[in-house]
Amino acid sequence: EPEVTQTPSHQVTQMGQEVILRCVPISNHLYFYWYRQILGQKVEFLVSFYNNEISEKSEIFDDQFSVERPDGSNFTLKIRSTKLEDSAMYFCASSETGQGGNEQFFGPGTRLTVL
């Protein structure tokens, strides 16, 4: 069964450094998403991406964040100048379409620890 994959599973970085989290969505999916979950809090939407551009983003997704689809398979989240409060689990998801009831398939997540 096709699945969303994410690398690395755990990333440790120093405050102020840049990190890139990588995702490989399911191959025939057209919509891609990033969510994050700070320990003990809700899973929060960050951004959605379709047709090589951002389709929606939350208030959390400020200039510190960017997304890219550098090739036909990868979908990346870049976090510049990381802060302690960026420590969280970051989930990538993908869906075939953006229609209401369409299922989003989630990856296993990348745990980001900012020291």
Partner 1 sequence: AQSVSQHNHHVILSEAASLELGCNYSYGGTVNLFWYVQYPGQHLQLLLKYFSGDPLVKGIKGFEAEFIKSKFSFNLRKPSVQWSDTAEYFCAAKTGANNLFFGTGTRLTVIP
Which region, judged by CB under 8 A, interacts with partner 1, from 18-26, 40-48, 64-72, 75-83?
40-48
* Residues in contact with partner 1, shown as a per-residue x/- string from 76 to 95 under the rule CB under 8 A: ---------------x----
In the chain, the amino acid numbered 106 is: F
Least spacing, CB of residue 86 vs partner 1, in Å: 19
* Token pair for 15: 């405050």
Residue 46 burial (C-beta neighbours within 10 Å; 0-12, 13-18, 19+): buried
Does residue number 25 form part of the binding site for partner 1 (CB under 8 A)?
Answer: no
Q: What is the C-alpha separation between 61 and 73, in angstroms, rounded?
A: 22
Q: What is the C-alpha separation between 33 and 93, in angstroms, rounded?
A: 5
Does residue number 4 form part of the binding site for partner 1 (CB under 8 A)?
Answer: yes
Binding site for partner 1 (CB under 8 A): 3-4, 31, 33, 35, 41-45, 48, 55-56, 58, 91, 98, 100-101, 103-109
